[in-house]
Structure 1
Amino acid sequence: MKTKLIRTGKLIDGKEVLAIELTNSLGTYVKIYNYGAIINKFIVTNKQGEKQDIVLGFDDIDQYTNESYLTNYPYFGAVIGRYANRVKNGRFTIDGQTYQLSQAKGGDCLHGGDIGFDRKMWDVLSTIDPSVTLQYVSEDGEEHFPGKLTVQLTFKLTDENELILDYKAETDQATAINLTHHSYFNLAPQGGSIAAHKHRMPASNYLEQDDNYVVTGKLIPVEGTHHDFLAEKEIGKDWDLNEGYDQSYVLDKQYGEFTLASETREENSGLKLSVYTTEPVAHFYTAKYLDVKGGKEGKDYHSFGGFCVETQHHPNAINIPAFPSTILRPGEHYKQTTIYKIEHHS
């Protein structure tokens, strides 16, 4: 079990991009950049005994800042903040004060604004085998959010093939916060469509969205709909061929309880990815908008070529009082734990 720090020589915002490599006793290998806290590689051993990378991304750090990539930007493997998903009209009010965020296509704020935590340089605070703690300080007014927010994220790789993400945050002024991670997974040895992956989510309800994918506040039972993943099924079994899935599922749990969010299996690799979280919601996205040229080993990535399980609080909760609060105040401590666990399935 070890942690290795590698200098890339690439500078962003005057800081050098570092690669942090985590390796466990099973030979599982995770590579993380301090740019965007990006999970660049997640290499595991499949049932054939082959090494297999289960996350989408690039071979070279330069490709993550390429203009063509950012034009149709899928947030490969990055942390999302200060506020995940969409905020209606890019606007919210705290203690009588209204804040106007930047607005993306459709007029809503997406994934923290024009340049969110996914494109920031994080400081490497510590490396303790086999883990790394990154920190980013978001200044008051960044992307028009109030308060200076200090965020720490620790990645730890265990000998149980768990990649643990522990988030902590504090603020000096009441602010809105909803963090998540945006890794795209594909468990098939050769990649391609994830339609045949088998997926299960212990979620009896999903959140209604308007025409621009913004959560409205209404819960809809999954029973009798194509959104029902209470029992395992192939991802492509019931989906809309044009849309796939891009929904927030409310997990069946007590608020704050650490439980399973999803299980996904693939037959050819024999791999199973289980996601566990303290968060109340898992947003399931099957990459409808994915269109990236020249990914790892020169592969092009297309629609439905990966899936994301984005653990978080209810999207747009800052504007929906009935949802669990996403307001963080001075003296309070934001905490979240999400685990990606890889196993072989029978």
Structure 2
Amino acid sequence: MRILLTALSLMLCLSACREEKKKEVESQQMTALKTSISPEDFEGVVEGDSIKLYVLSNKNGLEVTFTNFGQRLVSLHVPDKFGNFEDVVLGYGTLDQFVNGPKSYWGSIIGRYGNRIAKGRFKIGENSYELVKNNNDNHLHGGDKGFESVVWKVENATTNRIDFSRVSPDMEEGYPGNLSVKVSYTLTDDNELKISYKASTDKTTVVNLTHHSFFNLKGEGNGDINDHILMINADSYTPVDSGLIPTGEIAMVTGTPFDFTIPKAIGKDIDADFDQLKIGNGYDHNFVLNDSPKNAEGLVLCAKVVEPASGRTMEVYTDEPGVQFYGGNFMGGKTIGKSGKPYVFRGSFCLETQHFPDSPNQADFPSTLLQPGEVYTSNCVYKFGVVED
């Protein structure tokens, strides 16, 4: 009897020690995080589903955090040329701000359709579909409750990869078909954040998924981005009307402020007397990407950004035909970010790889139709580095 009690006591002791060691390791991991965001501030329940913070890292010290609410990239720490790490994406520091604060797209997935659809309607064959109008008279970024405002299932989470999935039900926000979506994020030791999208449907529908991080390579909240040097690998772009809907024209960038084929400061031509800049209050346009050069995986170099003071660089690669370049024109300093700093006018830029806005209503644009039995795929890579002295 005494032997049994001793054995039981030993087992209980070992179990308690293991639990204590686990807590100690978890505490050390939390302490080691570069982000100042508290993981506890992203724990919660939304519409019956559990939410938490997930962390990816690589051997070079890059760190990315995600929440499964809206599949949002919450923080992204990358080094400058001196080895100093900064968080280079804008956003909030708590789950509550994302769920209950003003509607935002900070770091989120966008779907079912990234960008605008004119008048909130389109046709597939003889069938007409009415979407939610949430951008004046138009439909924007999936509607009132797009993919940024729902909970995603985490299928897999490792130290350098996370997989999200969800089924968007038939007629959600007006879109036909049950759409099964899977998105994978992988942080490589080459300092690449790879995003891979897949989707399938049981009814003909339209799909255009993208990622909506707002970048500032100086660090989030550290002033505007007008001095960032930008190259966009596009000889043409799609001009817009007063509602930021493409007119249908594909215009050459040569001789206009939209020519970023040779790298230049984002703010260099921002005040030029040019109608398209006045309409968008700056840059908020889709660029038609060239089809070369490509990386080893066959993805086209879409853009490159350099922040001169820190030396941080970001390259974007994709297999999409376009990219939406947005220069923070509707930011005004009222939003206070996760570090306590106001997000000033033109305090970030977005490079959203995509099909073109309003493609369902533009016969000459690349199609965004997805048929049953087909698989929608899209790939985007954000690669970080520093300038070589």
Residue pair 2:283, 2:327 contacting (<8 A) in 1 also: yes
1:22 aligns with 2:56: yes
Task: Specify the SS of the correspondent of 2:98.
Answer: helix
Indicate the residue corresponding to 1:252 in structure 2.
Answer: 290
Of stretches 156-165 and 316-325 in structure 1, the one that deviates more from structure 2 is 316-325
Residue pair 1:236, 1:244 contacting (<8 A) in 2 also: no
Residue 91 of structure 2, aligned match among 57, 63, 70? 57
CA distance in 2, matches of 1:244, 1:303: 11
Residue 349 of structure 2, aligned match among 307, 315, 318? 307
Task: Specify the SS of the correspondent of 2:249.
Answer: strand
Residue pair 2:240, 2:247 contacting (<8 A) in 1 also: yes
Amino acid aligned to 1:161: N
Runs of 5+ in structure 2 lacking a partner? Answer: 1-28, 31-38, 273-277
CA distance in 2, matches of 1:196, 1:119: 33
Task: Specify the SS of the correspondent of 1:181.
Answer: strand
* Greater radius of gyration (CA): 2
Residue pair 2:55, 2:159 contacting (<8 A) in 1 also: no
Residue pair 2:43, 2:95 contacting (<8 A) in 1 also: no
Identity of aligned residues (%): 38
Report matched runs for 1:272-311 at 5 Å.
272-291=313-332, 292-311=334-353
Runs of 5+ in structure 1 lacking a partner? Answer: none
Report matched runs for 1:42-121 at 5 Å.
42-67=76-101, 69-70=102-103, 73=104, 75-121=105-151
When the two structures are aligned, how many residues end up with a matched partner? 338
Report matched runs for 1:114-263 at 5 Å.
114-189=144-219, 191-240=222-271, 243-253=281-291, 258-263=299-304
Amino acid aligned to 1:283: Q
RMSD across aligned C-alpha pairs, in angstroms? 1.7
Residue 75 of structure 2, aligned match among 19, 33, 41? 41
Q: Following TM superposition, by how much is the alpha carbon of 1:324 offset from its aligned partner in structure 2, in angstroms?
A: 1.1
CA distance in 2, matches of 1:175, 1:290: 33
> If each structure's strand is expressed as a fraction of its own residues, which one has the higher value?
1
CA distance in 2, matches of 1:106, 1:335: 30
Task: Specify the SS of the correspondent of 1:89.
Answer: helix
Q: Following TM superposition, by how much is the alpha carbon of 1:294 offset from its aligned partner in structure 2, in angstroms?
A: 2.3
CA distance in 2, matches of 1:219, 1:109: 22
Structure 1 segments of 4 or more deviating over 4 A? none
Please report the TM-score for the alignment, with normalisation by the length of structure 2.
0.84
For residues 168-193 of structure 1, give each alpha carbon's deviation from its aligned partner in whole angstroms, at most 9, with x where no partner exists.
00000000110111100001146211
Task: Specify the SS of the correspondent of 1:297.
Answer: coil
Please report the TM-score for the alignment, with normalisation by the length of structure 1.
0.94
Amino acid aligned to 1:187: L
> If each structure's helix is expressed as a fraction of its own residues, which one has the higher value?
2
